[in-house]
Amino acid sequence: MELSVDQNRPAWQPFTPHGVAAFARASVGRMLLVQFVAALVAAGAVAWFLKTDWFPTISAAIERLPQQGEIRSGRLFWFGESPQLLAESRFLAVAVDLNHEAQAHSPAHLQIEFGRADLRVYSLFGYAQIPYPRTYVLAFSFEELKPSWGAWAPILLAVAVAVVLPGLMILWAALATLYCLPVWMLGLYFNRELTLGGSWLLAGAAVLPGAMVMTIAIGGYGLAELDVVRLIAAAILHVLVGWTYLVLGVLAAPKIPSCLELKVNPFRPAAAASEGKMEQGAKVDQPNPFHPSGD
């Protein structure tokens, strides 16, 4: 498979093999700028999903809390019915089941269940059990949590963006560092003009198409176009897309010129013999002044 790329092609998009290959000759700043834009879009998708699909369920669950309640000394003091499903949606459910009797389960993809001494988070992979802190007193009533949630919800969205954005940038830098040596060796095998630094830049651009696949999958999941199984499949696919663009980007890099003029080595026997024959031929062609036919 032979791909070629224009040496003067600007590096501005990493969604084609030639576009990925162009970043091998770009500056680090340009590559980081493109990564920042991609990370910003991904962080925005995560924040949109939380605000649209999780936060309304949490708000509805707070509305159904009793007037009194708290978590103190590692125990939940609950003054309502149990078990009780406080709120649920396709994505998230919140329930109270003091003895974890499995009487308030929901078909939601993720369920948060408050027990007497711990919190359980149920998902497709089973559940995680988190004990309540013993040194803190946490409010668990409508009157206290509603104003607190109204104040903290926008801050939590900002925190989500602040975590996802630099987290993706660090992750992509680590992946580029991990991939750059194999990319450089692959470039040597296919006779491509790739330095080690250029291989790092190419690898940093090659992970972005897969990241966009995952961003689109999060949007589709939030719009109920994908279920949780397809979301997991998209997570696997986005890794494979990144590997595919690594290979295609290397193949799209310019080839090392092979038509170089080679100088004759005077120390090679074949070259010396060839030159000797040429000299003898030249001598034969010269007229001999002592030959009878020569005047």
Residuewise pLDDT in 10s, the chain (295 residues): 444 445 556 778 899 999 999 999 999 999 999 999 999 999 999 999 999 999 999 999 999 999 989 999 999 999 888 899 999 999 999 999 999 888 888 899 999 999 999 999 999 888 999 999 999 899 999 999 999 999 999 999 999 999 999 999 999 999 999 999 999 999 999 999 999 999 999 999 999 999 999 999 999 999 999 999 999 999 999 999 999 999 999 999 999 887 544 445 555 555 444 545 445 544 444 555 544 544 4
Same domain, 119 and 247: no
Q: How many domains does the chain have?
A: 2
**CA 282/CA 12 separation, integer angstroms:** 60
Same domain, 190 and 234: yes
Same domain, 165 and 238: yes
**CA 26/CA 19 separation, integer angstroms:** 11
- Residue range of the domain that includes 167: 17-48+154-252
Give domain status of residue 283, yes or no: no
Q: What pLDDT is stored for residue 7 in this prediction?
A: 54
For residue 111, the SS3 value is strand
Q: What pLDDT is stored for residue 257 in this prediction?
A: 80
**CA 233/CA 245 separation, integer angstroms:** 18
**b/e map 160-192, b = 16+ CB within 10 Å:** bbeebbeebbeebbebbeebbeebbebbeebeb
Same domain, 40 and 105: no
Q: Phi/psi at 269 (nearest 5 deg)?
A: -60, -40
Q: How far is CA 9 from CA 22, 33, 57, 192, 274, in A?
A: 6, 18, 49, 16, 46
Same domain, 178 and 41: yes
Q: In 3D, which of 67, 88, 94 has the Cα closest to residue 78?
A: 67
Q: In 3D, which of 56, 87, 54, 86 has the Cα closest to residue 221?
A: 54
For residue 79, the SS3 value is coil
Same domain, 228 and 97: no
Torsion angle (degrees, nearest 10) of CA 56, 144, 79, 103: 20
Cβ–Cβ < 8 Å for 40, 120: no
Length of the chain as a residue count: 295
H or E element that contains 129: strand 126-131
Please measure the distance between the N-terminal and C-terminal CA atoms of the chain and give it in whole angstroms. 68
Q: What pLDDT is stored for residue 159 in this prediction?
A: 96
Q: What pLDDT is stored for residue 263 in this prediction?
A: 46
Instruction: Show Cβ contacts of residue 78 under 8 Å, excluding neighbours closer than 6 positions.
Output: 66, 69, 96, 98, 114, 116, 140
Same domain, 231 and 89: no
Q: What pLDDT is stored for residue 2 in this prediction?
A: 46
Dig out the tokens for 202 from the structure: 């190419």
Sole residue written with tokens 């791909």: 3
**CA 157/CA 121 separation, integer angstroms:** 21
Same domain, 168 and 44: yes
Q: What pLDDT is stored for residue 261 in this prediction?
A: 46
Instruction: Write down the pTM of the prediction.
Output: 0.79
Give domain status of residue 33, yes or no: yes
Looking at the DSSP bridge assignments, the partners of residue 139 are 70
